[in-house]
Structure 1
Amino acid sequence: MEIYQHFRKEEQPFIDQVINWKEEVERMYKRKLSDFLDPRERFIFQSIIGNDEELSWETFGGYEGAERQRIVLAPFYETIEQDEFNVTLLEATYPSKFVTLEHRDVLGAFMSLGVRREKVGDLIVTDNQIQILVATEIASYVMMNLTGIKKAGVEFKEKDFSNLLPNNEEWVEQSGTVSSLRLDAILKEIYNVSRQKAALHIQKGHVKVNFRTVEDPSFILESTDMISLRGKGRSQLVNVDGRTKKDKWRITTAVLK
């Protein structure tokens, strides 16, 4: 299929899934609700669906600018309401005087329940509160079973979206040039490490792209890819802006402070 040539080989199963959603909605005149999608998956979705006049679609992840969002795909004549996304906000408090919790602690505890990552949206962790946006179909299971994180006992309760805490994540954008769109070259630019050290981190499994471990330094990045380097935090290749006169790539990146 011609569309495959525009994306990575490992993305083909997701491409097939989106095409199946499209065909199902067009054939059955029945809307389709996705799991939580990361920015790269939403980019692929939009690239495939495009401006199809026979379809309507909206995204929602609990708040404007959410990193992980669900999509409703419907016939063009249907109106999509917020409650159709089946997103539930769960909240718990913890004694910050005795334990410090971070995003990775909460996500790790959540994943230990055996729930698929696709059923979890964004997490917000403050000095004494945790908020998790989840697929409504697993909310009761989470409230019953997620009762401890590290040494802290927690009790999650369902809350209205009006109780959402502000997401104080600060992304700082910068522009630069790189000789290649290889993962090791992009890491060098973003994290200010040598290319050799970047390659070593990759080979040791310290680097994730779109939440999946990548161990090949020559892996080619594309616009919207999310990156994380263990111990150095998260970043994104926001956009590939084209070539310079010296045949380098102009890129825009963002780092989570």
Structure 2
Amino acid sequence: MINEYKDLYQHFTAEDHTFLDKSLELIQRVEDTYSRVVTSFVNPHQASILENLANKYQLQIFVSSRFFPSEWAKVILAPAYYELELEDFELCLLEVNYPSKFHQLTHAQIFGTLMNRLGLDRRTFGDILVEETRAQVLVDKRFTQFFIDNITKIAKVPVTLKEISLSEILHTHESSDSKDILVSSMRLDKLVASTFKLSRNIASQLIFSKQVKVNYAIIDNPSLVIGLEDLVSVRRYGRFKVMKENGFSKSGKHKLTVEIQSSK
């Protein structure tokens, strides 16, 4: 089955090929065993790839973010007979308890602890949800006890993690602003520079130093052409999407509307 569709690769960027290989292996497993498989956490771009493949191979697909509000999600691929049980996503919601009267934990502090201090694979946890006095983490249920046992301090603040019902998930909203910009081309470096009011040299340095992602993949090519709805993330500055092309200025520059999301 897989060999028949090697032409699939021409429809995806080089950065997607590794994930595409893994996705095709999962699809092959569903077809061979005629049973469901559930992924680790994937980002929205990867979930979209899985949806395209599932439709192509006539499999059912369920994405957890459609049932529990989140950006990162777990995905179920299944044959036609399968009926969804939400427990099959193998999700767990952990509440981060800490002395909020004296401290306020940030998304970056929690993320840094999970990734750097414990060296966890990014695929083992999903969204980190933060409000003024509360914080939660969506995790792969298989690793629940590991999180509870090993995360006892975040940014020098003592914490305990406790499993709670998924119905208690925080509904956080990322703030965003629209902005009109002019660029001579749709190159990544020029869009980053114009959106965040940086020099093109600084924008290029950020890209070369691997601090810029496009659709969640690190990109080190300043000349990459960006399209509508592509998500560009720049460390310490925030994220943006090109939402609308508004023609050209008298000098021949692209007139664009971008949506800028605040940095987490």
Aligned letter for 2:220?
E
1:195 aligns with 2:217: no
Compare 19-28 and 205-214 and name the one that shifted more: 205-214
Paired with 2:63 and 2:22, the residues of 1 have a C-alpha distance of 17
| Structure 1 pair 11–215 and aligned structure 2 pair: CA distance change class (3 A) | same
Paired with 1:110 and 1:130, the residues of 2 have a C-alpha distance of 14
C-alpha distance after superposition, 1:187-239 (max 9, x if no partner): 13432333233113223443334455433322344555443323312x14366
Paired with 1:252 and 1:57, the residues of 2 have a C-alpha distance of 33
1:91 aligns with 2:95: yes
1:118 aligns with 2:123: yes
C-alpha distance after superposition, 1:5-40 (max 9, x if no partner): 122213211111111111221222011101111111
Aligned letter for 1:186?
L
Q: State the TM-score, normalized to the length of structure 2.
A: 0.83
Aligned letter for 1:91?
E
How many angstroms does 1:250 deviate by? 7.3
Q: Which residue of 1 is the match for residue 80 of structure 2? A: 76
1:132 aligns with 2:137: yes
> CA RMSD, aligned part only?
2.8
Compare 106-115 and 143-152 and name the one that shifted more: 106-115
Paired with 2:35 and 2:45, the residues of 1 have a C-alpha distance of 25
Matches within 5 A, 1:144-183: 144-173=149-178, 178-183=183-188
Q: State the TM-score, normalized to the length of structure 1.
A: 0.85
Count of aligned residue pairs for this structure pair: 254
Q: Secondary structure at the match of 2:160?
A: coil
The answer to whether the 8 Å contact 1:33/1:71 transfers is yes
Q: Which of the numbers 15, 30, 51 marks the counterpart of 1:46?
A: 51
Compare 195-204 and 120-129 and name the one that shifted more: 195-204
Aligned letter for 2:93?
L
Identical-pair percentage: 30
Q: Which residue of 2 is the match for residue 56 of structure 1? A: 60
Show structure 1 runs of 5+ residues with no match.
none
